[in-house]
Amino acid sequence: MATAVSPLAPERFPDLPPIAGVTFATAAAGIRYKGRTDVLLLKLAEGTAAAGVYTRSKCPSAPVDWCRKALPGGVARGLVVNSGNANAFTGKTGAEAVKLTADIAAKALGCKPSEIFLASTGVIGEPLDATKFGGVLDECAARAAEGPWIEPAKAIMTTDTYPKGATAKATIGGVEVTINGIAKGAGMIAPDMATMLSFIFTDAPIAAEALQAMLSRSVKTSFNAITVDSDTSTSDTLMLFATGAAEARGCPRVTEASDRRLAGFRKALDTVLLDLAHQVVKDGEGARHFIGVTVEGAVSATSAKRIAKSIADSPLVKTAVAGADANWGRVVMAVGKAGEPADRDRLAIWFGPHRVAVNGARDGDYDEATVSEYMKGQDIDIRVDIGLGNGKAKVWTCDLTKEYVEINGDYRS
């Protein structure tokens, strides 16, 4: 199993300031790992609004079922996340474990179980013993504090090689608000799942419906625009919580996502989500290259995104980048298999600043040595102009290396 920190990791965990209305503590509940924290209890001030986006899997985990049911209330008082066991494909016992966890957390925080949100990541198909949370969550509630934010980022890791956090400021009605986010990504060991979890917090006073609208929009160009290996977890969870504490400092309460005063907030939210999404890709199993795929000139933005995903998911494109091979033939192949409108003879393809193909054939000025030099870099940009319309999209992925196969193909026994 590879345990070295990804070569694409940021230099350090960023400084995340406190968010008024958010306190937390982590603990070692012994769910699966030894000698590390594996549970996070996060307290949210009364009046906190919640928004969420969950996995599209038709076989979601028990905590995802729970969150989907609790979300329409739009009210959150607590969040419990554990690593080591995903509580996925665990049948009725899974649903019971979720209920017991929410009951324990609600008692510890003095709220209703339906105001508790839950996420689990780790081994699939193993019953989760929620009684282990008994004393632990009480104790966490007692010592919950405003920082440091690296602790929750660490507690939710499975085999991520580094903790992931991001922060941004915005003003609403002239008052500064903060957005903090943490995430865990696609590091995994058999038989764990590459569950993506991310939790975003703000002190801005924004109503749940507006939060949800902004989150659903922002996720399209961030977490829903990344792919490590095209596989979808049973447990993917992204949530955004707004404590509203900034209202006490004069920040106006906003209820509509279309409110112009949210322009800066929307931008800051986009920044935090994209930053975290990129960090997840950069910690993809065995990742050695960070790849941006831009498709323009498609018949629509949806079509552009499908083509970009087809390129980013192609094992042949990903292995070519791993081998620093400017293999634009495989990019043509991936455009062709996307099933979207494309005209071979109008295609143009760039690797970074170098146009390698144009009008459906190799660029006359193509110089293999120059392009090969570019492919040796860590950040690779692939751009395709379909030449049919104005549809544009960008997605991000990592390369497919022997280390990916090693990490995911190691004998369990």
The reply, when asked if residue 413 is annotated as ligand binding, is yes
Subset of residues 371 to 390 that bind its own copies, contact rule: CB under 8 A: 372
CB of 309 to its own copies, least distance (A): 12
Report whether 211 contacts 171 (CB < 8 A). Answer: no
**Rounded-to-integer distance, Cα 399 and Cα 6, Å:** 13
Q: Which two tokens stand for residue 262?
A: 């949210």
CB of 256 to its own copies, least distance (A): 33
> Which residue number, 123 or 274, has a Cβ lying nearer to its own copies?
123
Cα–Cα distances in Å, from 225 out to 253, 291, 302?
Answer: 31, 12, 12
Query: Does residue 368 interact with its own copies by CB under 8 A?
Result: yes
∠ CA 82-34-39 to the nearest 5 degrees? 20
Query: Does residue 296 interact with its own copies by CB under 8 A?
Result: no
Query: Does residue 370 interact with its own copies by CB under 8 A?
Result: no
**Rounded-to-integer distance, Cα 130 and Cα 134, Å:** 8
Stretch that binds its own copies, among 140-148, 155-163, 258-266, 398-406 (CB under 8 A): 398-406
Stretch that binds its own copies, among 26-34, 153-161, 296-304, 330-338 (CB under 8 A): 330-338
> Which residue number, 115 or 229, has a Cβ lying nearer to its own copies?
229
∠ CA 107-110-115 to the nearest 5 degrees? 90
Kindly determine how many residues on this chain lie close enough to bind its own copies according to the rule CB under 8 A: 76
Stretch that binds its own copies, among 173-181, 197-205, 210-218, 357-365 (CB under 8 A): 357-365
Whether the bond into 148 is cis, omega within 30 of 0: yes
Report whether 351 contacts 375 (CB < 8 A). Answer: yes
Report whether 38 contacts 82 (CB < 8 A). Answer: yes
Subset of residues 55 to 114 that bind its own copies, contact rule: CB under 8 A: 55-60, 88-91, 93-94
> Which residue number, 19 or 334, has a Cβ lying nearer to its own copies?
334
Q: How far is CA 70 from the centre of its chain?
A: 21
Subset of residues 250 to 289 that bind its own copies, contact rule: CB under 8 A: none
Contacts of 374 (CB under 8 A, 6+ apart): 326, 351, 352, 353, 354, 380
Report whether 251 contacts 175 (CB < 8 A). Answer: yes
Q: How many CB atoms neighbour CB 46 within 10 A?
A: 12
Candidates 344, 365, 377, 379; binder of its own copies (CB under 8 A) is 344
CB of 335 to its own copies, least distance (A): 6
> Which residue number, 43 or 289, has a Cβ lying nearer to its own copies?
289
Catalytic residue among 159, 167, 195, 243: 195
Stretch that binds its own copies, among 26-34, 97-105, 165-173, 333-341 (CB under 8 A): 333-341
Q: Which two tokens stand for residue 269?
A: 């939210």
The reply, when asked if residue 221 is annotated as ligand binding, is no
Residue 171 annotated to the active site: no
**Rounded-to-integer distance, Cα 313 and Cα 227, Å:** 7
Report whether 96 contacts 53 (CB < 8 A). Answer: no
CB of 403 to its own copies, least distance (A): 9
Contacts of 138 (CB under 8 A, 6+ apart): 104, 107, 108
> Which residue number, 200 or 386, has a Cβ lying nearer to its own copies?
386
Query: Does residue 401 interact with its own copies by CB under 8 A?
Result: yes
Query: Does residue 293 interact with its own copies by CB under 8 A?
Result: no
Is the C-alpha dihedral spanning 103, 31, 126, 89 positive or negative? positive
Candidates 6, 161, 314, 397; binder of its own copies (CB under 8 A) is 314
Q: Which two tokens stand for residue 223?
A: 């977490």
Closest CA to 293 of 278, 279, 309, 281: 309
Query: Does residue 397 interact with its own copies by CB under 8 A?
Result: no
Candidates 68, 253, 267, 362; binder of its own copies (CB under 8 A) is 362
Q: Which two tokens stand for residue 408?
A: 């995911």
> Which residue number, 198 or 314, has a Cβ lying nearer to its own copies?
314
Q: Which two tokens stand for residue 400?
A: 């497919």
Candidates 137, 172, 204, 332; binder of its own copies (CB under 8 A) is 332
Query: Does residue 53 interact with its own copies by CB under 8 A?
Result: no
Is the C-alpha dihedral spanning 363, 369, 373, 376 positive or negative? positive
Contacts of 283 (CB under 8 A, 6+ apart): 6, 8, 9, 160, 161, 162, 164, 185, 186, 187
Candidates 133, 201, 290, 328; binder of its own copies (CB under 8 A) is 328
> Which residue number, 57 or 294, has a Cβ lying nearer to its own copies?
57
Subset of residues 192 to 251 that bind its own copies, contact rule: CB under 8 A: 193-194, 229-234
Q: Which residues are catalytic?
A: 195
The binding site for substrate comprises: 158, 184, 195, 285, 408, 413
The binding site comprises: 158, 184, 195, 285, 408, 413
